[in-house]
């Protein structure tokens, strides 16, 4: 029972943090296309040293991507540890149980991802899936990460 409450609490915290960040980001990163355009702008800013406004938008986009990725990694590890505690289960048991209940996590490398790498992954996904760019930026970015890294 305690574990279920903890899981629900963690999910709610993640939803609230995501909601808060998207309310702040709504003007600039509401859809997948907004995120794609902003990432392309980052490239221009880094190449040509554009205006201060463009530099701010590029910095904001980099922060958005880093925060999104950190949130996913943190949520996945906390949920996994909560559901399959390492102090009571071996790694083999944890993996077996997670497969039995169909618990999936993004297969992001243990070394993490560089911000520029996330931008490249998203640009590639967005150019391959332009019909999906009307969806929210969060949904599109998650789709790009799933396609790039798959599930474990």
| Number of independent structural domains in the chain | 1
Q: Which domain holds residue 122?
A: 29-149
Task: Flag whether 87 is in a domain.
Answer: yes
Q: What is the pLDDT of residue 49?
A: 62
3-state secondary structure (DSSP) of residue 127:
helix
Task: Flag whether 22 is in a domain.
Answer: no
Q: What is the pLDDT of residue 146?
A: 93
Task: Flag whether 2 is in a domain.
Answer: no
Q: What is the pLDDT of residue 126?
A: 94
- Spatial distance between the Cα atoms of 37 and 39, rounded to a whole number of angstroms: 5
Task: Flag whether 83 is in a domain.
Answer: yes
Q: What is the pLDDT of residue 4?
A: 57
And the tokens for 96? 């077996």
For each successive 10 residues of the chain (152 residues), what is the average pLDDT?
58 53 52 84 71 76 86 88 91 90 85 80 94 92 92 82
Task: Flag whether 131 is in a domain.
Answer: yes
Task: Flag whether 46 is in a domain.
Answer: yes
């Amino acid at each position: 029972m305690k574990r279920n409450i903890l899981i629900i609490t963690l999910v709610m915290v993640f939803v609230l943090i995501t909601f808060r960040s998207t309310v702040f980001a709504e003007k600039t990163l509401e859809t997948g296309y907004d995120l794609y355009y902003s990432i392309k702008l980052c490239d221009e800013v880094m190449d040509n040293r554009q205006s201060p406004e463009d530099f701010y938008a590029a910095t904001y986009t980099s922060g958005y991507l880093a925060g999104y990725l950190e949130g996913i990694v943190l949520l996945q590890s906390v949920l996994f540890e909560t559901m399959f505690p390492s102090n009571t289960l071996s790694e083999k048991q944890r993996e077996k149980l997670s497969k039995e209940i169909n618990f999936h996590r993004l297969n992001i490398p243990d070394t993490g991802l560089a911000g520029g790498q996330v931008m490249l992954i998203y640009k590639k996904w967005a150019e391959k899936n332009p019909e999906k760019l009307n969806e929210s930026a969060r949904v599109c970015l998650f789709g790009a990460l799933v396609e790039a890294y798959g599930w474990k």
